[in-house]
Amino acid sequence: DSGVTQTPKHLITATGQRVTLRCSPRSGDLSVYWYQQSLDQGLQFLIQYYNGEERAKGNILERFSAQQFPDLHSELNLSSLELGDSALYFCASSATWAGPPATYEQYFGPGTRLTVT
Amino acid sequence: AQKVTQAQTEISVVEKEDVTLDCVYETRDTTYYLFWYKQPPSGELVFLIRRNSFDEQNEISGRYSWNFQKSTSSFNFTITASQVVDSAVYFCALSSNDYKLSFGAGTTVTVRA
């Protein structure tokens, strides 16, 4: 058990819909990362937050957004869903650090499997 | 830009054989970190090891060992005396002058009893 929790575990929804994925980092970790894992793209970094502030953006679509709340949990919002958004979405957290590179190992949650039909 | 290449797509071995996973990375930065993660059939990603660019000392941790060579930009990982529970997808990852992990495509290891 990594200490990172994600809900829900599975999500099935229809095209055009909007969903919210939730993540709670390990106790004490201020950094939260979101990754997408799909068969064709592999593991792709989406976005990172540090203590409530967005720090880095990767290959995140404009239809996707995220935020980190004062209690450090994070939510990833996916809207206008398409079939191609079906994937495993991971949240990870890491210990405090001052800047790049990401020196500390990231601990991953169990993931949310999103299926868009 | 940084890139991680895992040329081996799949490896199948019989229990107790050693397994070596290859990883080649590209980065222009002089400070970087390398990681290995394991993804068992249950789906979670499990951190295994981390190595920074300043430390080329190779180590052994239980049945795991790694060989980091800056001259060839390689960070290979070996499982000694493999067990069925080692069956998983193994990912090599690189962190360079930004905040993210860049992952390789993964190598699927199947250990047969």
Phi, psi for A21 (deg, rounded to 5):
-105, 140
Q: Mean pLDDT in chain B?
A: 92
DSSP for A53-101, written as a single string: EEEEE-S--TTEEEEE-TTS-EEEEE-S--GGG-EEEEEEEE---SSSS
Record the tokens describing residue A29, joined without a space: 């970790």
**pLDDT band for position B110 (cuts 50, 70, 90):** very high
What pLDDT score was predicted for residue A71?
95
Report the candidate in B40, B64, B47 with the shortest Cα–Cα distance to residue B103.
B47
The neighbouring-strand residues paired with A42 are A38
Q: Touching check for B6 and chain A: CB below 8 Å?
A: no
Q: What is the mean pLDDT of residues A54-67?
A: 93
User: Taking CB atoms and an 8 Å limit, are B101 and A106 in contact across chains?
Assistant: yes
Q: What is the mean pLDDT of residues A75-80?
A: 98
- Exposed/middle/buried for A26, CB within 10 Å: 0-12, 13-18, 19+? middle
Q: Which chain A residue is nearest to residue B27, measuring alpha carbons?
A: A101
What confidence tens digit (pLDDT) does each residue in B1-33 have?
789 999 999 999 999 999 999 999 999 988 899
User: Taking CB atoms and an 8 Å limit, are B46 and A108 in contact across chains?
Assistant: yes
**pLDDT band for position A7 (cuts 50, 70, 90):** very high
What pLDDT score was predicted for residue B60?
73
What pLDDT score was predicted for residue A112?
98
Cβ atoms of A103 and B52 within 8 Å: the answer is: yes
Q: Touching check for A53 and chain B: CB below 8 Å?
A: no
What pLDDT score was predicted for residue A100?
64
| Chain B residues touching residue A108 (CB < 8 angstroms) | 37, 44-47
Considering only residues A111 and A97, tell me which one the structure prediction assigns the higher pLDDT: A111
Q: Touching check for B72 and chain A: CB below 8 Å?
A: no
What pLDDT score was predicted for residue A1?
84
Record the tokens describing residue B4, joined without a space: 């991680």
**pLDDT band for position A59 (cuts 50, 70, 90):** confident
What pLDDT score was predicted for residue B53?
86
pLDDT over threshold 70, residue B50: yes
User: Taking CB atoms and an 8 Å limit, are B102 and A45 in contact across chains?
Assistant: yes
What pLDDT score was predicted for residue A89?
98
Identify from A106, A107, A113 which residue to disrupt to test chain B contact, counting B C-beta atoms within 10 A and taking the largest count: A106
What pLDDT score was predicted for residue B75?
94
Considering only residues A79 and B97, tell me which one the structure prediction assigns the higher pLDDT: A79
User: Taking CB atoms and an 8 Å limit, are A43 and B46 in contact across chains?
Assistant: no
User: Taking CB atoms and an 8 Å limit, are A100 and B98 in contact across chains?
Assistant: yes
**pLDDT band for position B44 (cuts 50, 70, 90):** very high
Say which of A42, A106, A110 has its CB closest to residue B43. A110
pLDDT over threshold 90, residue A96: no
User: Taking CB atoms and an 8 Å limit, are B29 and A55 in contact across chains?
Assistant: no
